[in-house]
Amino acid sequence: IDLAPLVGASLAVMERDARAMRGDTPFLFTNLKSGAGLAQVIDWLTTHLHSAEPRRSMAWDGRLAFEGPAELLVHAHAHHHHA
């Protein structure tokens, strides 16, 4: 949103389009230069990053770590991959 006035974007059109595309899924306009909306973003992140749901372990490179039995790691099917 910080760039919207500089590129001639209409916040009203952006809001209309976001509502049309997202339906009931929430969205938020922010302006990090003025701080508008920042508290709401922090609240959302804090709530969702500290949820009671267990988090999946991550490998060192950011991929989800496999936590099941090794026999599930077998990868076989009828076709082959071309290199």
Indicate the domain borders of the chain. Answer: 4-73
pLDDT at 41 over 80: yes
The confidence score (pLDDT) of residue 12 equals 92
Per the CB < 8 A criterion, the answer to whether 29 and 11 are in contact is yes
Bridge partners of residue 36, in order along the sequence = 31
The whole-chain average pLDDT of the chain stands at 81
Q: How far apart are CA 11 and CA 80, in angstroms?
A: 50
54: left (phi over 0), alpha (psi -120 to 50) or beta: beta
Average pLDDT over residues 39-53: 81
Average pLDDT over residues 39-65: 77
The confidence score (pLDDT) of residue 21 equals 92
The confidence score (pLDDT) of residue 61 equals 78
Bridge partners of residue 64, in order along the sequence = 58
Average pLDDT over residues 26-43: 89
